[in-house]
Amino acid sequence: MLRSGITNIATFVPWQAVESDISHTLVRFLHAVADRRMSLSLILTPEVGVHYPNCGLPRDVSSKADRLAHSVDSKPVNIALPPNIFSLPSLSSSEFLKRYYNFLSRIDSLLADLSRTQPYLVQSVTAVLTGCYWKYYRSARYSALDPFHGSAGDYSPAVSVQYRQRVEQFYSQKEFSDPTPFSANRWKTRALEDVNRRWFFQHLEDLFKSRSSQFVKRKAANFKLKHFELFTPEADPGFAFSNFFQVVSGSGGDFSRLSSLVDHTATRMSHYSDKATVPFIHWTNIGAFRSLSDAEKQFLILKSILLAGSRGGGILIDENEWLSLSHMFRSRAEALSKSISVGDLWLKNRVLYLTTHLWSDGGIFWNQLQKNLGANVRLVSSLDLVLRDHESSLIFIDPKYIFTQEALTKLLGLASSGRVVVMPRTPLFTEAARSELEAVLAAGGSMQLSLGVPYQIQPTGDGKLILFDPPESTRTEDLESVNSFVASVLAVANLSKYCSSSDSRLNLIPLEKRDGGIGLFILNGTTRKVTADLLFDGEVTVSDLAASFAAARGGQEQVVPSVRFSLEVPPCGILPLAVDGLGIEAEERRAAAVNAEVLKENIMEAAVSELPGFSSNHDIEATWN
């Protein structure tokens, strides 16, 4: 590997190996790495995609029925990766946790001893804790319909008992018993079962991560430790069905499904404590990735770098798969990774969507936001992450979010500081939170609107608070109303797409450039050539991205500005462009155009409802002239 230019490697520490003879095996491996002056990341958390039976889990841990996790349809969560199919254990099982914490303690002791007796072995070694199995606790049936469809979480009988106990404990807090002690009962009804399950599952995951970190740092307190969110698309529960039919039909791996999973995973921002964990996409040589063509593999690798690398993470790929690709491609991927790592390119969070559970579906409002702004929208389950973010101009809160007075106060503070904060009007406000919200609305100056979804815009400080009434169903007409409402909200926040494509088969990923403008990556995830037009709201200049970086260091070829550019993207191709002219003035032009259109729709709707005989087909200018 060193002769091939590889200097940084990551490896899993299989649980099975730790319980047999890890001290000798790991020390020999560390000697080999240190002698070659390579850097190493040791992934300690159990993960899928490990080249071991049961992905490294001890056999008895994943074979006892009372220790297995269940999805929402009350079935075990199976992982169909070679060399064998196995069921994921429940990360909340007391028997599992006892063994797991003992495993971490042994690793902790070994790393502490090495740091003391042979420090040169671990100078370039970093321990890594990941998000483990939580993201895979999803129904294969629902996930096959759409990635992350439905509710995720462990619905095993043992965890259900913990859930009931935790609900009683959580709602025993004084704030939920206001105005009478019986008020807490309304929070524990069957109607709120899904709401309560979601925050409970997020609580379990946060607690698991926190305790894992504590066990690793007990003795090896000075050892370097990082937190990643590692996702293996080939192990996704919903991928098993589609991939099976693809293989049976002789089509190889389900490339389209893998590409979609990368899109959906990269938009979810996981966390440890109050900080975001960096995302990594793991491509193995034991699953469907191996059966793809080189062009498909290269597409998925570059897409993963764009979506995960631009957020501080990257990819993990088996060395055999990496070295099997052409030298030209590897050089291209390394050049892109370097540009991202040094800050020449980054993916901006323009909208944050605050939800109760990261791995459950985001709902109709999240889907529409993602449809409008693509990769620039992030799903987050931590209010602390929202408070630490300084990029997003719009904060949208999910209708299943529980508003305590503390949470509401923090969100109102964001609005006062210049953000647009969108809140649902639901029964999920405590009495204290509701009183504080009513005090804000009592200040006056609000505007009542309706685009199918009734909403209210309340100025507060330097920003705006938008309150809306979520639709009670997901009928076609309700979805159309949601689309109009989301477009209006984006207009209020002065947000719109940087550009659009005339062909929906193309996927656009805009990365901010250090020297201004954007690096626009146009992805064709199909097996056919696509010819399309790029459409902008104002005149911009477009050039090759690599040439633009070179031109920044001396001289630049002039490109004629335009609002439309024709292009051709090869099958499984990614076209990198530099777009200049999307400065503040261009942003203001786009926002003004969107605002004008939304205002026109609002006026027309108000006129239709208030003026007898008026129709939206009337010529307004002719009417008043």
pLDDT tens figures, 345-392: 999 999 999 999 999 999 999 999 999 999 999 999 999 999 999 999
- Predicted pLDDT at 81: 86
- If you compute the radius of gyration of the chain from its CA atoms, what whole number of angstroms results? 26
**The pLDDT of residue 612 is above 60:** no
- Predicted pLDDT at 621: 44
Confidence bin at 67 (pLDDT 50/70/90): very high
Give the amino acid at 324.
S
What one-character DSSP code corresponds to residue 352?
A: E
To the nearest 10 degrees (0 to 180), the angle between helices 255-266 and 294-308 is 10
Phi first, then psi, for residue 381 (nearest 5°) are: -115, 10
Output the six-digit token pair for 182: 């019986």
Cα(548)–Cα(542) distance, rounded to whole angstroms? 9
The residues facing 533 across adjacent strands are 566
Q: What is the mean pLDDT of residues 582-603?
A: 54
What one-character DSSP code corresponds to residue 344?
A: S
- Predicted pLDDT at 244: 67
- Predicted pLDDT at 558: 54
The residues, any chain, with a CB within 8 Å of residue 349's CB and separated by 6 or more, are 376, 377, 378, 389, 391, 392
Between the alpha carbon of residue 369 and those of residues 94, 375, 482, the distances in Å are: 40, 10, 10
Please give the CATH topology (third level) of the domain spanning 500-582. Answer: Immunoglobulin-like (2.60.40)
**The pLDDT of residue 525 is above 70:** yes
Q: How does 135-144 read in b/e, with b if 16+ C-beta sit within 10 Å?
A: bbbbbbbbbb
Which tens digits make up the pLDDT trace of 268-279?
Answer: 999 999 899 999
**The pLDDT of residue 624 is above 90:** no
Which tens digits make up the pLDDT trace of 329-339?
Answer: 999 999 999 99
Q: Model's pTM, two decimal places?
A: 0.91
- Predicted pLDDT at 603: 59
**The pLDDT of residue 547 is above 60:** yes
Q: Give percent helix, percent strand, percent coil of the chain, each to the nearest 5.
A: 45, 20, 30
The residues, any chain, with a CB within 8 Å of residue 110's CB and separated by 6 or more, are 22, 23, 26
Highest mean pLDDT: which range of 5-14, 468-477, 607-616: 5-14
Please give the CATH topology (third level) of the domain spanning 351-492. Answer: Rossmann fold (3.40.50)
Q: What is the mean pLDDT of residues 448-458?
A: 92
- Predicted pLDDT at 62: 84
**The pLDDT of residue 239 is above 80:** yes
- Predicted pLDDT at 452: 83
**The pLDDT of residue 585 is above 80:** no
Cα(419)–Cα(185) distance, rounded to whole angstroms? 35
Share of the chain above pLDDT 70, in %: 88
Q: What is the mean pLDDT of residues 420-428?
A: 97
Please give the CATH topology (third level) of the domain spanning 8-151+208-342. Answer: TIM Barrel (3.20.20)
Confidence bin at 23 (pLDDT 50/70/90): confident
| Residue-averaged pLDDT of the chain | 89
